[in-house]
Amino acid sequence: MKITYIITSIMFLYFFTFSISSTFSLNSDGLSLLALKAAITEDPLKALFFWSDSDSTPCKWNGITCDHTHQKVTSISLSNKNLAGYIPSEIGALSFLTSLDLSYNYLSGTLPHHIATLQKLVHLDLSSNKFNGTLPQSLSNLTQLTGTLNLSYNEFSGEIPASFGRFPVTVSLDLRHNNLSGKIPEMGSLLSQGPTAFTGNPYLCGFPLNSQCTMPEAQNPIIFTKPVKPQNPGVSSNGFAEGKKVKRGSLTVSVIAAFSVLAGIVVVSVWMSRRKWKMAEDKTGKENVSKELGMGSEEEEEGQKGKFVLVDEGFGLELEDLLRASAYVVGKSRSGIVYKVVVGGAVKGGGSGVGGPMVVAVRRLSEEDATWRFKEFENEMEAICRVQHRNIVRLRAYYYASDEKLLVSDFICNGSLYSALHGGPDNSSPPLSWVARLRIAQETARGLVYIHECSPRKYIHGNIKSSKILLDNDLKPYISGFGLTRLVPSTSKLTNAAWGNQNLSQIIVNPKSSTSPSVMYVAPEARVAGSKLTQKCDVYSFGIVLLEMLTGGRLPDGGPESSGKTLEGLVRKVFREERPLSEIIDPDLLHEVHAKKQVVAAFHIALNCTELDPELRPRMRTVSGNLDCIKL
């Protein structure tokens, strides 16, 4: 009897031990996911059915993506699975997680604070569920977020934590259609969000919403009924399908999905009041085109009600298309804010394919002390649109009102030369090769030659720099910003004879612009307030851009030795002292030994362009010809 008892005990211990070892053969990330499975009360589509503790890793489970080097979970994608339940605290143990998408389900309860421990999280989408409670302040600890933070269409209540202002400005924040109340904190990156990020919360107030915080209820949390849940996943509130950002520089950011470029998201409120535009001057975010404009026949009426003009007859964009469009901030400068505007459906003369959405760039000009009359502005636009070249961004339309000026042009999808050289939050592409850099320099030079020679008026650009040279997916360059130097008073002043002569050839330097960080691109003779820009100033600026491509822009480095020195001065010194080229060349080009002679030739061209005496600088046609002589 005693022997039987001992045998039974041994067998029990064996099977118990085997069971435990079998369960714990699953790695720690798998156990955390099993805790999520246990928290799911309904799984009608059996999305989690094959999540089993018999596996060694969860890397082959439905909806799970892993880093195969460490066998760690990097992505959970369980959107639109009709799951019900809650998120357990064990989710915070997934230390390698970069993307969590549980949108379009029926999950409920409060968000566990443990989500804030996911320090590698870039994309968080919990939209269209039944989550409730207040927004956890600890979410602001997710400092690596650069994509989406989408908590829309839930039942969150209370105020928006001020700590949300600590999110990076590249985060696409979406809090639409919750039960949030109180004043939107005017802090940090919250100032970069447009009104669409907060719509559907009737008791929210303050910038960027139209509603002012005048009611006592706005200062305290209020509980409302559940917002209406959208029926179709992947469709935005304006009815257009939403995509995900998948490529650097394209800055293709979705309203609900990932946002990569560019930018924070703002649904452009192109025709809102001037006060609202002025408040958005120093912000990035997402706004919606919502206010229709009148179309006056008289010039004074046009200036007050606004007029939308197509300068390209083959371009089928209408005012109504913009009124329904969504847009995303992709850039901001002294000349104004640039939005990427996505117009649903195919549009004649443009678009990204038959039946697909059309994408354009809309620049909202800075106003400051500008006093443009409609006829004057119209003349300026006509002069700009006549400058058409394969390497110059093309103006397609414009909008004029006495207190608002907008330029509509082609959208160049792959960012700027500056981003390609220096990197950024959306830069994941390899460094530019020598072949790519030389081609960019050659084609940019041709575009600049065209600006200088297309008219007997001898136009100038006036603001050539790497951020003004845009690249498409084939790295073809486009010069942007032509004409802006005259249109924006903070960049230039008009001559007294501006309208008597063709204005694009006469630009006077404003004292404000001489203190800009971009002064390195400005010719020495143009850094004096009141001096007149010339075509030789463009040549100097192009030479600096060429040096930037050759050196990677790493000179001067800001150290004591380079204090007060210029990029061209330091390069010139290296050549004069016959020091090794490796001291100044971009390290990414050092391995291209076969191109050494070509690189040296390009350096000499750049140094000729950046001569201190403008009379010694060549014309752009000569520069372009010399670059074309460099054969690959």
Residue pLDDT, tens place only, 429-453:
788 999 999 999 999 999 999 999 9
Q: 124-173, pLDDT tens digit by residue?
A: 999 999 999 999 988 888 888 887 789 999 999 999 998 888 888 778 78
pLDDT beyond 80 at 589: yes
Domains and CATH numbers, the chain: 28-219 (3.80.10.10), 274-410 (3.30.200.20), 417-628 (1.10.510.10)
**What are the residues whose beta carbons fall under 8 Å from the beta carbon of 238, sequence distance 6 or more?**
255, 288, 324, 325, 326, 344
User: CB count, 10 Å around CB of 312?
Assistant: 18
Report which of residues 3 and 292 the model is more confident about.
Answer: 3
Number of helices and strands in the chain (H, E) = 13, 23
pLDDT given for residue 538 in this prediction:
94
User: CB count, 10 Å around CB of 496?
Assistant: 9
Report which of residues 56 and 290 the model is more confident about.
Answer: 56
Report which of residues 63 and 323 the model is more confident about.
Answer: 63
Report which of residues 609 and 363 the model is more confident about.
Answer: 609
Confidence of residue 260 (pLDDT cuts 50, 70, 90): very low
Separation CA 203–CA 487 (nearest Å): 40
pLDDT given for residue 61 in this prediction:
92
Three-state SS across 338-367? EEEEEECCCECCECCCCCCCEEEEEEEECC
Separation CA 244–CA 147 (nearest Å): 10
Tell me the CA distances in angstroms from 448 to 167, 347, 460, 539, 617, one per residue in order: 40, 30, 8, 9, 15
pLDDT beyond 80 at 204: yes
Report which of residues 617 and 292 the model is more confident about.
Answer: 617
Q: 60-93, pLDDT tens digit by residue?
A: 899 999 987 888 999 999 999 999 999 998 899 9
pLDDT beyond 90 at 482: no
**What are the residues whose beta carbons fall under 8 Å from the beta carbon of 456, sequence distance 6 or more?**
none
The one-letter code for the residue type at 541 is S
DSSP H helices, 388-504, are 417-422, 434-453, 484-487
pLDDT given for residue 504 in this prediction:
54
Q: Are 274 and 403 in contact (CB under 8 A)?
A: yes
Report which of residues 365 and 24 the model is more confident about.
Answer: 365
pLDDT given for residue 560 in this prediction:
38
pLDDT given for residue 84 in this prediction:
93
Q: Are 359 and 396 in contact (CB under 8 A)?
A: no
- Order of strands across the sheet with 155-158? 40-42, 84-85, 106-109, 130-134, 155-158, 179-183, 203-205
User: CB count, 10 Å around CB of 601?
Assistant: 17
